[in-house]
Amino acid sequence: MANLDPRFADLPTPCLVLDEATMMRNIDRLAAHAAWLGVSLRPHLKTAKSALIASRLLTGGDGPATVSTLAEAEVFAAAGVRDILYAVGIAPQKLDRVVALRHAGCDLSVILDSPAQAEAVAVASRTAGQAIPALIEIDSDGHRSGLRPDDPALVAIGRILKDGGAELRGVMTHAGESYNVSGEEAHARFAEMERAAAVGAAETLRAAGLPCPVVSVGSTPTAHAARDLTGVTEVRAGVYVFFDLVMAGIGVCRPEDIALSVLTTVIGHQKARGWVIVDAGWMAMSRDRGTASQALDQGYGLVCDEQGRILPDLVITQANQEHGVIAVRPGSSATMPDLPVGTRLRILPNHACATAAQHSSYHVLPADQGSSLAEWPRFGGW
């Protein structure tokens, strides 16, 4: 199998490749659905970690946005994003960084689900001389953090914030269990669970005389499957920008919609075992095996040729630190194509967030096919 794309010729492998045209189709798809639902879209930037991608995602380039680390908030605020939700429960020790960002002109809000966190935010607000906005996290499906909508602590936390000098901005939830079901109907049911939990919590706060202007929901599966978001003000999602094999495995996208891949080179063969060895191991792909529990196990990634065309039933079945083993999927009758040493291949990831985190930049195939390959930096850290 010959190398066909001269734009890849000088790239070191392994490296991260981004198909801009595919990414833009994914971005436009959810933006259109949010507009049809009548809600604003607050994209999650945790997967992208790139100011250049954020500028393509955000209305006017300045928000609204969601982040999962304060490092993300700091980088994106420096790039001009002015409306950011830090969607991980706030640790009191991080509030000085929150205050610094807000003093610098970024409307950064935090989330919490306990009286202790609310007290810390109230104290920090009084000390800083400005009300730090907070959303109360609601547990809509038992996935992780948050309060059940009928938890008496909900109103108590709201009062701590309002009476203590902070700002009760609203409620938010994340239907993380939607990743464990497949198909639009199942995801639509989770979307309704998400909506009902968040709207119910908002109504409880308002009935207690507390403000709740923001009702925020979101996960990539539910954002795409939601049919009615009455009472919701905004939707959050992140991995939809790139998609991945986990999302394809539960029916949110097709493998052809995955915008990220890892470029790798064939470095050897074990013909008696039916193996092709490449230079992309788990350091390039990550150890994420998110498809292992799905109907179709994609190993450590699905193999494509250099042009991004899927090679039927070829997966990375084993991954060492810097070696990947490509083989025919167990149980398949497919045959291994001729892949000489030096052949370039592209591997679609199980989990876009985890694979992207292994790399410091994107090598971008521009949407304009006549343009040269670009390189966009990405960052990490907390």
Q: Are residues 300 and 266 in the same domain?
A: yes
At residue 328, the pLDDT reads: 97
Judge whether 159 lies within some domain: yes
3 pLDDT higher than 60: no
- What DSSP character marks residue 147? B
At residue 183, the pLDDT reads: 97
Q: Are residues 123 and 138 in the same domain?
A: yes
338 pLDDT higher than 60: yes
pLDDT in tens, 86-120: 999 999 999 999 999 999 999 999 999 999 999 99
First to last CA, the chain: 42
CATH for 165: 3.20.20.10
Q: Are residues 222 and 338 in the same domain?
A: no
Q: Are residues 158 and 196 in the same domain?
A: yes
Judge whether 227 lies within some domain: yes
Mean pLDDT score, 202-227 = 98
Judge whether 127 lies within some domain: yes
Q: Are residues 279 and 359 in the same domain?
A: yes
Q: Are residues 41 and 133 in the same domain?
A: yes
Contact criterion met (CB below 8 Å) for 363 and 261: no
DSSP 3-state of 65: strand
At residue 359, the pLDDT reads: 98
Contact criterion met (CB below 8 Å) for 288 and 351: yes
From 240, 265, 281, the end of a domain falls on 240
From 209, 240, 271, the end of a domain falls on 240
At residue 8, the pLDDT reads: 86
CA distance 130 to 124: 9
CA distance 123 to 132: 10
CA distance 196 to 83: 25
Q: What percent of the chain has pLDDT over 90?
A: 95
Q: Are residues 228 and 209 in the same domain?
A: yes
**CA 144 to each of CA 83, 120, 280, 291, 378: distance values in angstroms, whole numbers, following the listed order:** 25, 22, 32, 20, 28
DSSP 3-state of 34: helix
How many domains does the chain divide into?
2
Q: Are residues 176 and 223 in the same domain?
A: yes
Structural domain range at position 97: 21-240
Long-range contacts of 200-204 (CB under 8 A, 24+ apart): 200/149, 200/150, 201/136, 201/138, 201/147, 201/149, 201/154, 201/171, 201/173, 202/170, 202/171, 202/231, 204/149, 204/150, 204/154, 204/155
Place of tokens 């992780």: 144
Q: Are residues 129 and 223 in the same domain?
A: yes
CATH for 286: 2.40.37.20
Q: Are residues 138 and 74 in the same domain?
A: yes
CA distance 259 to 250: 17
At residue 335, the pLDDT reads: 92
DSSP 3-state of 317: strand
Judge whether 228 lies within some domain: yes
From 206, 240, 274, the end of a domain falls on 240
Please list the residues that pair with 136 across neighbouring strands.
112, 171
pTM of the predicted model as reported, rounded to 2 decimal places = 0.95
Element (H, E) at 270: strand 260-270
pLDDT in tens, 215-253: 999 999 999 999 999 999 999 999 999 999 999 999 999
pLDDT in tens, 247-260: 999 999 999 999 99
Judge whether 340 lies within some domain: yes
Contact criterion met (CB below 8 Å) for 356 and 16: yes
Q: Are residues 12 and 143 in the same domain?
A: no
pLDDT in tens, 45-65: 999 999 999 999 998 889 999
Contact criterion met (CB below 8 Å) for 326 and 275: yes
Q: Are residues 142 and 50 in the same domain?
A: yes
